[in-house]
Structures are given as C-alpha cells and as structure tokens.
Structure 1
Amino acid sequence: MFLTLAVCFCMMVLVSADPCLIISEINADNPRLDTTEFVELYHTSGQRASLDGYTLVFYNGNGNIAYKVLDLKDHSTDDRGFFLVGSVDLVPKPAILLPPNTVQNGPDAVVLYRTSAARYTEKMNVTAVGLVDAVVYMTRRSGGAEFLAEILTPGEQAFVEDEAAHEEDESIERCLLSEDQWGFQLSLPSPGQRNNCTPPAAPLASPFINELKLGGGQVDGLVELTDASTAGPVVMVVWDGKTDQVSVSMDVDTSRTGLTYLTVGKKYMKGDDSGAVAIYGGRAADFPVGSPLSQTQPLDAFVFAGPGNKPSANLTETLIPGRLPYQLSNSLREGGFYLSRCGVATWARDPGVFWEAPQTPGLPNKCPWPKICPHTILIPGGTDSPPHLPPRSSGDFLINELNTDTPGAAEDGEYIELWHPSGLRVSLQGIWILLFSAHNNKPYREISLSGHFTTSKGYFLLGSDRLVPAPSLRLPPNTIQNGPDAVALYRSLSGPPSATQRGIPTKGLLDAVVYRQRGSDREAQELSKALTPGQLPLLEDPDVLPGDEALSRCGGLYPLDLSAFSVALPTPLRENICPRPPPAPEGVVINEVASGHWSNQSQQTAFVELHGPPMTELRGLVLSVFDQDLSGTVVALPLKGVIDQNGFYVVGNVTEADQMFPDGTTVPARGAVVLCYDLFSVCRAGTALTNSSLRDVLVFSENQRLLSSLSTTRGRQVMPAPR
C-alpha cells in the first residue's frame, strides 16, 4: 500500500457536525489512452448537496499555472453525496464531461475553491486564496511538484502516483487515517462509489489488534489479532483503568497463521468502565495478574474510556503516548460494543483508527464510510507567497528547546520542543525521538511522532502531563532523564531507527543534543562520538538562573550543533528568550600548536596555546580543529574561562592545560586550527567565515578546500616536517 498524508491546513477546522465537500478520488493516468480519467468530489453528509460557489481548478506543475477551470454553479452531488468530472468513456457517466487526456499525469494539482468564481481563470498563477481542498501529485519519473505543494499543501510532499502499483488501472483515493486526519492511497478506481479504504496488512508493529468486543458485563470480551506466526513469543495483557494493574494476561498461539481470537472474561473489558488491551513481545509469566503497569513498550495498544470513567493519565501516556483513549458511547448494549480497525494509518497504538462496525471474525473488516471533514484551509484574502526557509537552515526538523531537570522531585515540567524552520504547520509523519541513556548507550524510550503536526508556527511540544501550555504528546512525569544522556531526532519510515541499525543509530539522524550533569562529561563519550562528534555535552546549569532553566537554541540553524544552545528561561511553544552575548574578546591569537604526529613517534602531546591580554574573558570564542583526512571538524570547542596573568591559555591533553580536548580527539598531522568568535554556531571548513567572526587561522595542509575556505588574510599556512 502506498500511503501519504495529504492534509490541508486550517484557519477554519470543520468537524463531523458540519458536513463539507472534499476531493475524494483522482484518476489522472489510465493504461494506454487516457479515456477514463476522473475527479470525484464527495459531500460528507452522504446526501444531495448544492455545489454553488465552488470552483475546481487544474494546475500544471510545469510553470505552475492553471490549465482547466470548472465553475460548479448549478450543479449538485447525487443522492449519496458523490459528484464526478471525467472522460466520456467513464462509467458511471460524469456530471461534467471532459475530452480524453484532459487530466494531466503530474507534476500537477487539483484544487477545490469556494469564493467568487470570477477570480479563477485559465493560465493564472497558482493561488491559495479561497482554497478548500487540494491534491498535489506527481509520478516517480516526473517529480517537480515542490512549488505546488508549498503553496497548496504546505508541510506536505506531493503524492506519488505509481503506475506499477496495480496490473490494470489505479487511482489516488482519500481515506481516513485516524480520528479527523485524512490521507491518500493508491487503489483500484471506484468512481461514484465508496473508496477502497482497507487497513494496511502490516503496520509498523505486527501483530496488531484488528477487532475488539467490549462486553457490558453480561457477555465475554473478544480481541482479534492479525497474523502472529512470524513473531516471537507474544502476550496479550488487559490493564485495569483504575489501578493500572494487570487484570488478564494470555499467551498468544503463534503456531497458527491468519487471524487469532482471544476470549476475555465478562468482568473485564466492560463497556461502562475504562481500561486497556496491549500486545507485547514476551510471555504471560512476564505479566502476572495484579502486577503494576510495565514501562515496556507494547507492539500495539488500545485504551478505552467508559462514560464518566477515564483511565489514568499514566496508563494512557505509557501505552498510547500522544493519543486519546477511545470514548465509549453512553448507551450500553446487551451484546457489547463491536470495534474494528478501519483507519488506514500505518502506525500502531492509536485508538483513533477504530470505529464501531459489525463483527467480522476471520474476514476483512466491514468499515462504514466516514462522515468526518478533514482539516481544511480557507484563506478569504490571504497571501500567495510561498514560505522561505531562514538562511543557514537545514530545512528539516530541529530540536529547539530542552528542559530535562525541573525544580522539585516531581519533575513534572520537563519537555522537548521541536521546530520546523518553515514556521508552518507541518506533518511529523516518519519522525522519531529517541531518548538515550549514557549508562548503556541505548535508547530507554522510542517515540513515534507519525500522525502528529506542528503548530501553525512550526512548533511541536512533548512533555510532562502538568506542563503549561499543554504538550501535544504527554509523557509521564520524570520520563526525561537528567543526564548524562541524549535526545536524538530521526526521520525513519520503516520503524524505530534502532530496529534496523546496530549500536547508536546515525542513519536518518536529523538533530541531537547530548547533555550532562556536573562532572559527568566522560560518561557521555560514546553518545557524543556518535551523535555530536567533536563536541562536549551541554550542561543544563541550575546555577545560571533562579528557578527553572532550559537549553534553548539561541542562534544558528545547523543541526547537530551544540554551540547553538544557551541556558535560558523556559519558553515552551514560544520564541526563545536568549541571553545577550558578551562583547567579543579582542587581541587573542593562536600562539603555538603541537601535534603528536609531528615528532616521529616521540612522547610529544597535542595542544594549542593562545596568547592575549591577561584576564581576558574568552566566552564566545570557538577553537576548531580540522582534519584533512576526515574532511571535516574533529574538534569544535567553545572556550571558557580567562587568559591567565601571563597572557596564555592552553587547550589540549597536557597537564598544564586550561581546557582539555574532548576524549578521542587531537590535533591531526594535516589540517588547520581556527579561532573564531561566534556565540551560536561552530566554525566549519567550507563555511564562508566573515572577517568579523574569524580571529586567527593556522593551516598545516595543502588541501585546497581548507586553503580556499579559510581566509589567508587572518592566518598562515605552515607545513610541519617530522623531526
């Protein structure tokens, strides 16, 4: 199944109580001659609805101009809510006929507007004004839909229509992902009919919960699982929503293929109560009845809330972090509640993918057609200008603020704040946060952010339950360890990064912060080496500010750059409040450099000696060491302290050093030493260093990249010869 989010973003959020018109299906590319193309609209009331005031516009991604405009005035949907625009050979017959080969194959877009039809004309430039719904699509061969997506579905990539997905024809169909979040998938065309929205055969976690029956205390409960034959030992656990204790634990028979049914006693999983069902790797003996809530992460979980019986916040946030429990109806039924997995989201541990539906043991789930409106964008007079990323930005998600140690024993104000440099509402599909412990260099918590979005300003907050403002993803108090530890941000579409990579995963790494407590630098050595090489862990210093403090990104949008962070006042979901930088130190230069590689295997050790006015404060100066063989920075060390009374300051692995090199780093045989003033970013080879930031340079290399990127007007090139 090919699935992508294609949700438009909102200044106005429509809900199920207010039906709306959506683009439901597009078939732009038929086999051979394009004589059965179509665009299907659907009114979520499921009834006849007038289309007066709506305009359908087709955009060409080559030039980003409109090639077809259809005013829908005097038209209406059919009695089931459907409306077809398409080729003459299409069955059923479209309400508006198009010549063959009208709907272009991509990169293109189909957009539904609701405002004056007079403002939309063929050959006009792409606009978001009046936009209600949009689909941006392309083929694997074409690409090139980035500009259309930036304007029409900001924060989302264009959908890729893969002509090889089915033997015959295929179409782009809108399906509900979870709760009120919609997406698109490729499936067999279904013009004028319900889309083929079947749940994925294998979400990220397998086996997973497929159907549930919650009894009313009169009948047994049931849990249907997908095929568990390829998994190791698997156990199903029922948790009590009031005590957070094990009510039932049952080993799952993994010797059989296909769907598996498990029966739960009638006094558990009651529709007028609260609780949870979770699937774990392991055995029932690992979860004895009455044992407390385990912090082991389940393969899948379903948390439910009966009328007036909410499960504990701890149960919810441990089993389904960032999601809401399924709220059961007030009307208890004699036969119980039947719930089926119907959302097509590929992630697990989300009750939002379940709907009330008839029970279908051993058969595909029989899901109703949803009547929920997607989030839509409606800009009556907005700007057409695309967003532009700030200078020096990676363009992807960054860790923006980190508060790991809050005052008091409760630790109920800790948080992690992410930011997308576009400053827009952006999907977090495929984004993971891993919390690493330096004691074993392994993640102690893996958090999938799929299905979540940033705020309209690009922020995303996860943190403790009592944090104000409320985080989008809640964590139990005292979850984020105080250090030495690390927070790492990844993009991974195939599950947690640790599942496919040995050791500390680096593939897909977007950003990371390695941090420590006082005196614990060395314990984080392996995490630093893998995640932020050449940099010392950050210290969230509790003595800097009265009350609470955070590590805030205060300048520089480079990822994996610890020098961009400062200890500052916590500002969750707000612009960071950064300390005013001190005046730049003057008169400090590189005075002497030594490398252990220059003295023919003698006992010489590596160091860099600086010279400057006595007692000069060094904050803001960064000492960087480049290695030509490694093509990059091996040390990027923000300096601290002051020049001594004799005018010297030594950095290196020598007894008289004022500051040590990070473990495992040294001065190479060929490279460069750079002294620069830049409070917020690391001096890098290949970066255009301005004369105001560059203080002194010594290049001991013939590497042309180093020579061209490091200004010779403020340094020297010297070629050392081993004695």
Structure 2
Amino acid sequence: MSFYFWQELNRMELTLVFVACLCLVMAVTGDPCLIISEINADNPRLDTTEFVELYHTSGQRASLDGYSLVFYNGNGNIAYKVLDLKGYSTDDRGFFLVGSVDMLPKPAILLPPNTVQNGPDAIAIYHSSAARYSEKMNVTSVGLVDAVVYMSRRSGGAEYLAEMLTPGEPAFVEDDTAHDGDESIERCLMSEDRWGFQVSLPSPGQRNNCTPPMSPATVPLITEVRLGGGQVEGFVEMTEASSAGPLVLVVLDGRTDRVSVTLMFSYCFYTTSTINQSGAVAIYSGTVRDFPVGSALSQIQPLDAFVFAGPGNRPSANLTEMLIPGRQPYQLSNSLREGGFHLSRCGVATWSRDPGVFWEAPQTPGQLNQCPWPKICPHNSGNGTDPSPHLPPWGNSDFLINELNTDTPGAAEDGEYIELWHPSARRVSLQGIWILLFSAHNNKLYREISLSGHFTTSKGYFLLGSDRLVPAPSLRLPPNTIQNGPDAVALYRSPFGPPSAAQRGIPTKGLLDAVVYRQRGSDMEAQELSKSLTPGQLPLLEDHEVLPGDEALSRCRGLYPFDLSAFSVAPPTPLRENSCPRPSPPPEGVVISEVSSGHWTNHSQQRGFVELKGPPMTSLLGLVLSVFNQERSGTVMALPLTGFIDQDGFYVVGNVTGAGDRFFVIQGFTLMSVEDGPVSLSRCSCCEVRSPSSWTSSSPTPNRDNLCPSSAFSSHIDICLSPMATDWHGYSGGERL
C-alpha cells in the first residue's frame, strides 16, 4: 500500500517544483551491447524448460556474428558447451533465446533437456574469433563481453569462476524457495548504470520482472514523484509505514540549505519555482515543529530523500552529503515540459536515499509503477576486445589503495581524494567494500564509508574525494574531510555490514589494504595504527618539499597489499596511471648474505637479523628491505635503508650487537632445526642470486664471513637403486645415479 496526495498549485504558496525536462542519468552511454538478461538453469523435476535469454540493449534486431556463448562447469572450471552464434540475430525487440526443446516461446537454438547445469557454474558471452573457444577449454577472460556466475543454495564452490569472469562480485544464488513453482535469475538495473540480479518468475523473450524491493513496514520509501509545471499538479507517493510513528515531509532549498516547506505526510506535494534552482525532498520521523520553515538543514539522518539539481545550479556538497551520501542529485535540463515530469522508483537497489533509482515513467498513483526496460550497457567493454588484465603474479584480484592526496595547498582542502584500483583493470562492482578513516590522535574511526552500489571505471579505478575535485569523483566528500596526518586509510571487504560493527577497536577482519601516513615530526604518533594495519612499517610522509605545488602518495613499486614501500611522493593523477618518479639505479653487488629469526628456535640466545654483503662503503639509499608472510599474503615489514656497507663489506639490520641504526624483530619465519644453539640461514654460493640452493643452515655469524660447508671434506657418492627383495620379478639391474 502507498500514500499519495496532490494539490492545486494555485492554492499553495510553496516554491519548489521545476518546469524542466529530465536529462536522465540512465541515458544510453556509448554503443548498445549484448548482455545476458535471464537464466533459468534449475527447473522443478526434469529440467525441461531451461533457457538463457540474451538481450541487445538497442531494443532492436541485431546481428550476433562474432559472438560465442560459453557454458562453464564449476567442477574443474572448464567449458562444457560452446555455441557459435554466427548467422543468428536477435528478434525485433532485441531478445534471443537458447533453451530446451519443449519450452515456449520456441528458442532460436534448441538444447536437449537438462543441458544447462544447475551450479556452481557460469555462462559467458565472448566477441572474438569462434575458433578461440571450444569445449573442455579452461575459463578465460579474453574477449569477454558479459558473464553470469551462479550456484544453488546447496552447492557453493564458484569462487574461481567469479574471480575470473566477474571479479569483485560473488556468484549469484538461484534460490528455489523464492517462488512457488519455477524461478529464474533476472538481470535488473539497480541504480543509474549499476546492474544486478534478482530471483523472479521466468519471463523468456519478455521484459524481466524487475520490481523495486518491498521495504519493511517501519521504513518508508519515496516511490513516485511528479514535478509539476504551469497549472499541473504535483505529488509525492511513498510506501506505507504505519509503525514508523509520525512522519514529516521536508522541502529544502538547494541554494541556502534551509527548510522551505514542512508538512505532515498526509499532505505530500510540490509546487513551482524557477528552473535554475536546486533542492530536495526528505522524509523524517517527527513533526512539523521539529523542522520549522527557515531552519537550517537538520543533522538528523532522513528515512528517505530525493535531491535534484537545476541547470547550472547544483545543491551544496553539504546538502548532498547529508541527505544522499555517496550519490548524485537528479539533474534537470533547460528543456521545458508543460505537462511536468513523472518519476517512478524503478531501480531494484535495496538501499534508500538514491535519486538514481528514479526514471521517467508513466504516472501511476496508488498502483504499481510502470517502469520502462532500460537501454544501457552494464559494461564498458565495447565489442569484447581483449582486456588483457594485469593481474599480480600471486593471483590476488581484490581492491588496492592506489593513490592518496590528503593534504592539498590552501585552507579549503578541496582537492583531496582517495583512489582505489582493481588489479583486473576492468569495471568491477564495489558491493560490500568499505573505506574507513582513522585518526592517530585517539586511534579511533572518524569516518566509515560504504561503496556498495558503485563500480570502478572500465580501467579499474574508483575515485572518492572533495566536491570540487577535477575529474569529478564518483563519491563526493565535503572539503577537508580527509585528515592530514598522522592518520590512516583502510580498505575492507565486509558484505554483511560495517567493519566497525563486527570488531571493536581497529578492525582487521576483512582488511584488504591500508596506508598509514604522517606529517613531519609525527612518525611516532601512529604506532598503534601501524601495529594494527601495516605492522613493522613506518608511516608514509606526503612531503611538500619534494614537488612544487601539490603532491600525492602514489603506488609505484608493486601490487602487494599493506606494503608502504610501494608508494612514492608523486604528482597527483586521479583516474589516470600514476606518474611515478624514475627510481635511482640500484647499488651493484649488494646481496642478502644471512638471515636469522628469533622465532626459529627456542634458544635463549637466538636473535633476529638480516645481513647484507657488498662492496665496502656502498650507499644503500633507495633500497627497501621487505619481509613477507605467506599466510598473510603481504608485507610484514618494509624498511627503507639509508646507511652504507661497512669497510669489511657487511651491513646488518636487526637486534644484534653491531647492527645498523634500524632495529626490529623478524617475525613469521618457520625453520625446523635439530641444533642445540642459535641457527641462521647463510648464503654459501657467491653468484646465484634468488636461488634456494645457495643457502644452508649454520650458526649465526653477523658481521663475519658465513660458516659454509668446506669442499675439502666433501665426498662423491654413487647410489644404486634396486627393487625390494620381495619384488625381484622383472628386475633388469640397478639404475645408477
């Protein structure tokens, strides 16, 4: 049930509706594309009505030459069926069906019953030479146009397919309890250009059953708005929320951030104003007395809100951030429309306070909204050209902090930003991703930002920052939000709620990456943040003296998470490849000579150190000593070196006598030893760099030559292999090694 009300405009002395034509944010961007629109993989009983529905977003007949449809088995991650679509076309409305022989309407490509596997599996569209794709091939992203990874409630196990085909998005579950009878996985627009999937009644060859979610009875949502013009009435419709207590509709002026109109929700309306204004409508719990006309924008969070912008006149960053954090206002153009505008909640996003879920649609007060089928692409992959994603060698494919600009010139601080990057270098959903900002002064969280509902760019970047930043960030923050330091920025994957709700203090569960940074003279103030987020590493310094004008902390040396040594002070490059300084040539002849860890034995004299060896008096400036932990898949320690090799050719870092001026304890190593005393790993081959065979265990010898086996006492041994005495049949003599 919904509430709605409209009034004759000439009876109301209110000023807030625009006589303007919507420039829809969901307008087609780029060329139309081919997408997977619907999948029905699991039918009741005999699986005789399976199908895959493709849709061309032009809404017209389109050739499928050059496309291939590939079905992947999640058990082994190989293709179990490949269909070359050459010679086929979509129908006149853009639909194309592949499905079982017995289903209606009749598919263009017929499949035997029980062909489409129930999951964990995947279905993908490729655009490339058909010869590149064949049954039993391994899963690939080369030529990928679109993909759906799915599983049943009972299966699971689709993680690898999701990582390869839909990085950053988990497999979708076809819930067989969602509806009586059959159900399918249907693609629906969530908000703006963000797509998602939901379970609904099958609709092969027809528009999907994309209906906005039903909100709980305690959470009212704005479902329809008519912006009136001339003598045209205006109204607001919302879902019923009888248990929410008294509700009040508040209209705000986008120029002043002050209340223009306040009414109890039995009178929901808009009226006219000039087209150059901007404003908002918000629903609050409370009464008219709580929001008097002329009062400033309340700091209380609204239950739902709709913010809009007139041509050349955006609402303030303060109003946008307070009412629709992380979203954009609905933009109006200069084109006039005498009949006003009918806007309906059509996006299926589960969150509130997002103007992007509203589309232009027929007016339906008191009835279900009549939403048009969208004509935008869920990807920016064009015709599926090879994306050639740059994946790190260890296989990590989750988000990283790529660039920080926390301190910009001037008092306004209106150029600060945080840039994320996904190593797939593709458009990836940020569903379940959070940014947390910590202050080192009290080691507490001062800002927690959900990125759900957002996507990276087609090159894998995502930018959040000040409202005046150019290029415009996808998520805008009020100026001077990001503190200058000593502080920290941390990145989390937390699909079930805020990371702060799952763990007290400084959360580490779900932590993907973190950067601890400081100002001059404040490196010791961030010890607790460093210990929790980037252990063993000194905070970064965004040094103003390095570059004229502005500067940023940019990832320049590697894609390991939590590795502060990967960052350099560089010119700001938001949404572009980082402009990294050319590194100094590395010192020649310097190698790791010996490693000892206090955690290898329980011996009381065991000490941790790393010994370097090289030409005497060689400068180590520019080298970073990094310690990695396989279990954490990241850096335990990253220590910039600034000293010199001594006159004897040694440099020792650690907690032993004669070590350099940097002290730390190496953690995370495991070495089994039967020796009764301290033990270390010593390089015993001079010239084989990065070779495990160059090393042997010995007693520690920091600042001295290593104790290595002597060739004078070595022996040559011939080994003859032969069968056991009980297995002499077929013996043809021993084999000499």
TM-score above 0.5, yes or no: yes
Amino acid paired to 1:491 = R
The alpha-carbon distance between structure 1 residues 303 and 642, as it changes in their structure 2 partners (threshold 3 A), is farther
Deviation at residue 621 of structure 1 after TM alignment: 6.0
Which structure's CA Rg is the greater one?
2
Instruction: Give the equivalent residue in structure 1 for 2:481.
Output: 479
Aligned residue among 304, 311, 317 for 2:308: 304
- The answer to which of 284-293 and 85-94 deviates more is 284-293
- The answer to which of 104-113 and 283-292 deviates more is 283-292
Amino acid paired to 1:428 = L
Query: Within 2, Cα distance between the matches of 1:367 and 1:529?
Result: 54
Amino acid paired to 2:91 = S
Instruction: Give the equivalent residue in structure 2 for 1:100.
Output: 113
Q: Describe the SS at the equivalent of 1:529.
A: helix
Tell me if the contact between 1:304 and 1:326 (Cα under 8 Å) persists in the aligned partners: yes
User: How many residues were matched structurally?
Assistant: 649
Tell me if the contact between 2:61 and 2:94 (Cα under 8 Å) persists in the aligned partners: no
Query: Within 2, Cα distance between the matches of 1:98 and 1:590?
Result: 64
The alpha-carbon distance between structure 1 residues 68 and 645, as it changes in their structure 2 partners (threshold 3 A), is closer
- The answer to which of 458-467 and 306-315 deviates more is 306-315
Q: Describe the SS at the equivalent of 1:559.
A: coil
Query: Within 2, Cα distance between the matches of 1:527 and 1:507?
Result: 15
Q: Describe the SS at the equivalent of 2:500.
A: helix
Deviation at residue 51 of structure 1 after TM alignment: 5.1
Query: Within 1, Cα distance between the matches of 2:529 and 2:239?
Result: 38
Query: Within 2, Cα distance between the matches of 1:226 and 1:700?
Result: 73
2:209 paired with 1:196: yes
2:592 paired with 1:577: no
Amino acid paired to 1:483 = G
Deviations 1:7-56 (A, max 9, x none): xxxxxx9928976664432212111101122233445566xx44554587
Q: Aligned residues: percent identity?
A: 66
2:492 paired with 1:490: yes
Q: Map 1:438-453 to 2 at 5 A.
A: 438-453=440-455
Amino acid paired to 1:39 = V
Tell me if the contact between 2:536 and 2:636 (Cα under 8 Å) persists in the aligned partners: yes
Query: Within 2, Cα distance between the matches of 1:634 and 1:98?
Result: 53
2:547 paired with 1:545: yes
Deviation at residue 379 of structure 1 after TM alignment: 6.4
2:76 paired with 1:26: no
Amino acid paired to 1:685 = F
Instruction: Give the equivalent residue in structure 2 for 1:339.
Output: 343
Tell me if the contact between 2:72 and 2:123 (Cα under 8 Å) persists in the aligned partners: no
Query: Within 2, Cα distance between the matches of 1:342 and 1:208?
Result: 12
Tell me if the contact between 2:415 and 2:465 (Cα under 8 Å) persists in the aligned partners: yes
Q: Map 1:49-448 to 2 at 5 A.
A: 49-50=60-61, 52-54=63-65, 57-62=68-73, 63-64=78-79, 66-69=81-84, 73=88, 76-77=91-92, 82-94=95-107, 97-110=110-123, 123=135, 133-139=146-152, 158-202=171-215, 208-216=221-229, 221-222=235-236, 224=238, 227=241, 229=243, 237-248=250-261, 261=265, 263=267, 266=270, 273-278=277-282, 289-290=293-294, 292=296, 300-306=304-310, 309-316=313-320, 319-320=323-324, 323-328=327-332, 330-332=335-337, 337-357=341-361, 365-376=368-379, 382-383=385-386, 387=389, 389-392=391-394, 394-448=396-450
The alpha-carbon distance between structure 1 residues 515 and 294, as it changes in their structure 2 partners (threshold 3 A), is farther
Deviations 1:396-442 (A, max 9, x none): 11111111112222223222121222233322222221222233433
Query: Within 2, Cα distance between the matches of 1:442 and 1:365?
Result: 46
Instruction: Give the equivalent residue in structure 1 for 2:15.
Output: none
Deviation at residue 510 of structure 1 after TM alignment: 0.6
Deviations 1:56-87 (A, max 9, x none): 7543324325344555647734xx66554433
Tell me if the contact between 1:650 and 1:659 (Cα under 8 Å) persists in the aligned partners: no
The alpha-carbon distance between structure 1 residues 187 and 417, as it changes in their structure 2 partners (threshold 3 A), is same
Tell me if the contact between 1:27 and 1:170 (Cα under 8 Å) persists in the aligned partners: yes
2:669 paired with 1:685: yes
Amino acid paired to 1:66 = K
Q: Which structure 1 segments of 5+ residues have no match?
A: 1-12, 253-260, 674-683, 688-698, 704-708
Q: Describe the SS at the equivalent of 1:479.
A: coil
Query: Within 1, Cα distance between the matches of 2:135 and 2:695?
Result: 53
2:457 paired with 1:455: yes
Query: Within 2, Cα distance between the matches of 1:17 and 1:538?
Result: 40
Deviation at residue 489 of structure 1 after TM alignment: 0.8
2:43 paired with 1:39: no
Q: Which structure 2 segments of 5+ residues have no match?
A: 1-25, 672-676, 682-690, 702-737
Aligned residue among 553, 563, 566 for 1:561: 563
Q: Describe the SS at the equivalent of 1:578.
A: coil
Tell me if the contact between 2:230 and 2:338 (Cα under 8 Å) persists in the aligned partners: no
Deviation at residue 211 of structure 1 after TM alignment: 3.6
Question: RMSD value over aligned CA atoms?
Answer: 5.3
The alpha-carbon distance between structure 1 residues 599 and 76, as it changes in their structure 2 partners (threshold 3 A), is closer
Tell me if the contact between 2:260 and 2:293 (Cα under 8 Å) persists in the aligned partners: yes
